[in-house]
Amino acid sequence: MQLVFNKPESLTVNPFTYCPGCSHGIAHRLVGEVIDEMQLREKIVGVSTIGCSVRCWRNFDFDIVQGAHGRGMAVATGLKRALPDQVIFTYQGDGDLAAIGMGETIHAAVRGEAITVVFINNAVFGATGGQLAPTTLPGQWTSTYPKGRDVSWTGSPINMSEILAGLPATTYIAREALTTPKNVLRAKKYMRKAFEAQTLHGGFGLVELLGSCPVNLKLKPVEALNWVEKNMIPQYPLGEFKDTGKEAAS
């Protein structure tokens, strides 16, 4: 018997506690695989933040610090400045990173902190039950705007990757959708490069992962993935927005 598929060493045996069809499970597995492959498990410190993934320390098998809502990149800044030889990353949702944590996010990127950010964008506040996020699409139903997002009242969705790529001190910024096997494999490649922005180039790397939240979208898991493909990708185009490490190498 040959073992062909196994749990990454960087994940614990604890079962995921996310809802059926939630993209966090895939994203967690990708983090585990990338950290294993880069052999970072013993020198990494993860920062978990507030939202559905607040207890990702149940599933990640390495040192974790849990930060306050929105402050992930400030906590990571303190960790990285204290531990310059270690690898520091945050795992943040769109409410955390782009609403309450906007200041911390922008300024960590402005400083070009040598940290990696795994950013899950599912266009909604998941843990609190489906309220409007800065990333919610125009017209999208939320529990706080049941008639759909009216951009004249609440503004338009914010494209974080494009904004952060425009800041001079960031090193690597990319976006992918966790919707198809092909996209998931590309997401893993981007995630690795977001870590390498830190490990090889001493810079700020971020991978934005478009994910689905079927419970709050009130869709079945497969329908929710289709919704992401059909509605989110046009608003949030996929690809690498910045890769200064590559530019430096060429």
Among 7, 55, 218, 246, binds other proteins (CB under 8 A): 55
Count of residues that interact with other proteins, criterion CB under 8 A: 34
What would you report as the CA-atom Rg of the chain, rounded to the nearest whole angstrom?
Answer: 17
Assess 31 for contact with other proteins (CB under 8 A): no
Assess 52 for contact with other proteins (CB under 8 A): no
C-beta separation of 242 from 167 below 8 A: no
Assess 227 for contact with other proteins (CB under 8 A): no
Assess 99 for contact with other proteins (CB under 8 A): no
Q: How far is the CB of 170 from other proteins (least distance, A)?
A: 16
* Nearest to other proteins of 127, 233 (CB atom): 127
Only segment of 18-26, 41-49, 163-171, 232-240 that touches other proteins (CB under 8 A):
41-49
Q: How far is the CB of 15 from other proteins (least distance, A)?
A: 12
Assess 66 for contact with other proteins (CB under 8 A): yes
- Dig out the tokens for 155 from the structure: 């503004």
User: What span, in angstroms and rounded, lies between the C-alpha atoms of 25 and 12?
Assistant: 13
Phi then psi for residue 202, to 5 deg, are: 60, 35
Assess 39 for contact with other proteins (CB under 8 A): no
- Dig out the tokens for 24 from the structure: 């966090």
Decide the pairing of beta strands 170-177 and 239-243. antiparallel
- Dig out the tokens for 91 from the structure: 């795992």
Among 9, 41, 167, 226, binds other proteins (CB under 8 A): 41
By CB atoms closer than 10 A (0-12, 13-18, 19+), residue 157 is buried
- Tell me the H-state helices in the chain: 24-37, 72-82, 94, 102-111, 151-154, 160-165, 181-199, 214-217, 221-227, 233-235, 244-249
Assess 107 for contact with other proteins (CB under 8 A): yes
C-beta separation of 54 from 126 below 8 A: no
Assess 119 for contact with other proteins (CB under 8 A): no
Assess 75 for contact with other proteins (CB under 8 A): yes
Assess 57 for contact with other proteins (CB under 8 A): yes
Only segment of 69-77, 128-136, 170-178, 224-232 that touches other proteins (CB under 8 A):
69-77
* Nearest to other proteins of 109, 209 (CB atom): 109
How far is C-alpha 37 from the geometric centre of its chain's CA atoms? 19
Which residues make up the interface to other proteins (CB under 8 A)? 41-45, 47-48, 54-55, 57-58, 61-68, 71, 74-83, 86, 103-104, 107
